[in-house]
């Protein structure tokens, strides 16, 4: 079974609109961490935001926020006021437990921002 599911292979959004990228996860461990990464066409993976399973509040980093719904095992990324530079591949990822060796990545969502 997939640990991280990103159901949107591709999305087209008008510039300046808000964007929600979906991510659901599967784990039985009560302690885990969730990450979002951005991969522009250059290929580099850029860390965007982190949410711990015990964090009481949703994580925010500038225009990025993580809509963490623990009961639904959902960790959607919200980008406010999208910009052309937001066009990229976005990956959701999870660290299970307190293991420091592995992060499991989803298959990604390609986001296209339209002018």
Partner 1 sequence: SQTIHQWPATLVQPVGSPLSLECTVEGTSNPNLYWYRQAAGRGLQLLFYSVGIGQISSEVPQNLSASRPQDRQFILSSKKLLLSDSGFYLCAWSVPKQGRGFVGTQYFGPGTRLLVL
Quote the CA–CA distance of 112 and 2 in Å, as a whole number: 25
Neighbours of 102 (CB within 10 A): 11
Q: Find the binding residues for partner 1 in span 50-109 (CB under 8 A).
A: 50, 52, 91, 95, 98-103, 105-108
Segment interacting with partner 1 (CB under 8 A) among 15-23, 35-43, 65-73, 77-85: 35-43
**Both ends of the chain: CA-CA distance in Å?**
38
Pick the closest to residue 6 from 102, 76, 99, 97 (CA basis). 76
Residue 43 in contact with partner 1, rule: CB under 8 A = yes
Segment interacting with partner 1 (CB under 8 A) among 15-23, 29-37, 60-68, 69-77: 29-37
Residue (25 or 35) nearer to partner 1, CB = 35
């Amino acid at each position: 079974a997939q640990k991280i599911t990103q159901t949107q292979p591709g999305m087209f959004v008008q510039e300046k609109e808000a964007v929600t990228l979906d991510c659901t996860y599967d784990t039985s461990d009560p302690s885990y961490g969730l990450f979002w990464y951005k991969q522009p066409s250059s290929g580099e993976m850029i860390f965007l935001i982190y949410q711990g399973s015990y964090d009481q509040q949703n994580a925010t980093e500038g225009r990025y926020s993580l809509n963490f719904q623990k009961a639904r095992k959902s960790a959607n990324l919200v980008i406010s006021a999208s910009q052309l530079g937001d066009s990229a591949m976005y990956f959701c990822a999870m660290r299970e437990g307190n293991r420091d060796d592995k992060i499991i990545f989803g298959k990604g969502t390609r986001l296209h921002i339209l002018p």
